[in-house]
Amino acid sequence: MRSLGLLILSLAAACGRAGFDERPAADATPMIDAAPDAPAPPVFACGAASAVQFPFSGAVQQLSATATLHGYDVLAVNAGEIRGYTYDFSGIGTASSLAASRSDVLIAGGAAAAVGAFAIDDDVLVTMPYQNGTAAGTALLPLDHQLASRGTPIQHDATFGAGGSIAHNADGAVVFLSQSFTADSQPAQVTAQLISRLGAAVDAARSPVELIPATEIANTPTVAAAGASFVVSWTSATTSPRQAFGRVIDAQLGAVRPATQISVGPDFTPIAPRVAYAAGADRYLFVWYEKVAGGADALWASVRNPDLSPAGDPVLLTGQGVLPLVAASDTDFLVVWSDGNESPRLGAARVTKDGVRTQLAVTSATNGKVAGWDLTTRYAQPALVWVEVNADQTEQLWIDPLCP
């Protein structure tokens, strides 16, 4: 495993070549907004052939995708090595096309766990867990949308972040959610910190804010943007069995709402809750999966009002699904999951703000083995990004908005 010191030196050198500088606050324009008289941003045209595909190379153990102003950046992780791929739009509105821009760019080595990519306009922050001997934590790697370094990685020792550990709100505030761990590697308190688009603390003198105390034994904490605020989801062992919770926090990291229990089945343990916010509907969708009688994995969703009260009954999305991800358009939600098989297939559904579910098919021309996948939203258009390994061992990357 490569040392983080070598990683930082190599990225710092790349930063010098790229001529990085901190950008002024004036360019922190929310990605989903456009001036009324501006040309329509390039997006996918919905229809029978909305999905696009690209040849892909290199083994994939984990995939992370994010949406920039130009298009999509994709990170593939294999044996701790992170490689990047960029896909840029040309044209206006739905009369546009997506093309590969950069491929197989070495970003870093030494990733000790799942990596996340989070775009802030055309900048990208990568969360990379590291472990060097007894030292472990999460490094934030600042890149531009073409995957060139924009600065020295920021190390957060003795912390780790689950997927969704970075979010930026409609006003441009960026929050980093992390969790400390004990000497015997057990999860401890969950904290939040305001950071710049380069990953540095906005106020170096201000300590990270505790959101979830260590006594809750929180698991899989994640954060998502919610208009001018943020929303956090997690499971807590303070209940028996463990249940899923949510909390809305403001841009100063204060709790707007108290922690609210989201899961409603007292006999089963929810796993890996995720949440997204639809700004036009002013509603949240929480998703999770749980073991049920017979060993199956039921996948549930709960639409929530601004105060996190239920907006209707929970929605059973599928009787066999694990590891759900959720993304929001302006008015509805896209949920994608794995069936949990050794050669996994993906399932998907749209959920309206009123909890109406529409099942969707995830198909491709090859329908090979899914090696990695992620969800991201660009200009209020969610999209599924995934890599397939075909029968002849060739690989394809697919991007599909899975339109309703």
Structure confidence at residue 163 (pLDDT): 56
Render pLDDT for 388-403 as a digit per residue (tens, 0 to 9): 998 888 899 999 999 9
Q: How far apart are CA 221 and CA 236, in angstroms?
A: 10
Q: Which of 8-22, 99-113, 176-190 is most confident?
A: 99-113
What's the 3-state SS for the chain? CCCHHHHHHHHHHHHHHHCCCCCCHHHCCCCCCCCCCCCCCCCCCCCCCCCEEEEECCCCCEEEEEECCCEEEEEEEECCEEEEEEEEEEEECCEEEEEEEEEEEEEECCCCCCCEEEEECCEEEEEEEEEECCEEEEEEEEEECCCCECCCCEEEECEECCCCCEEECCCCCEEEEEEEECCCCCEEEEEEEEECCCCCECCCCCCCEEEECHHHCCEEEEEEEECCEEEEEEEECCCCCCEEEEEEECCCCCECCCCEECCCCCCCCEEEEEEEEECCCCEEEEEEEEECCCCCEEEEEEEECCCCCECCCCEEEECCCEEEEEEECCCEEEEEEECCCCCCCEEEEEEECCCCEEEEECCCCCCCEEEEEEEEEECCEEEEEEEEECCCCCEEEEEECCCC
**Which among 98, 87, 142 is positioned nearest to 118, based on CA atoms?**
142
Average pLDDT, integer, range 122-140: 91
**Which among 260, 258, 322, 311 is positioned nearest to 289, based on CA atoms?**
322
Q: Give the pLDDT band of residue 133 (cuts 50, 70, 90).
A: confident
For residues 36 and 331, the model is more confident at: 331
Burial 114-128 (b: 16+ CB within 10 A, else e): bbbbbbbbbbbbbbb
Average pLDDT, integer, range 290-308: 90
Render pLDDT for 230-274 as a digit per residue (tens, 0 to 9): 999 999 988 888 899 999 999 999 988 889 999 987 677 899 999
Q: Percent of the chain, pLDDT > 70?
A: 89
**Which among 326, 178, 300 is positioned nearest to 243, based on CA atoms?**
300
Structure confidence at residue 56 (pLDDT): 93
Q: Give the pLDDT band of residue 358 (cuts 50, 70, 90).
A: very high
Structure confidence at residue 24 (pLDDT): 30
Structure confidence at residue 52 (pLDDT): 93
Report the mean per-residue pLDDT for the chain: 87
Q: How far apart are CA 104 and CA 400, in angstroms?
A: 21
> Pairing relation of β-strands 346-352 and 159-160?
unpaired
Q: How far apart are CA 183 and CA 62, in angstroms?
A: 27
Q: Percent of the chain, pLDDT > 90?
A: 69
Q: Give the pLDDT band of residue 162 (cuts 50, 70, 90).
A: low
What's the token pair of residue 273? 């809750």
Residue 8, φ and ψ in degrees, nearest 5: -65, -40
Average pLDDT, integer, range 65-81: 96
For residues 26 and 183, the model is more confident at: 183
Structure confidence at residue 187 (pLDDT): 83
Structure confidence at residue 27 (pLDDT): 31
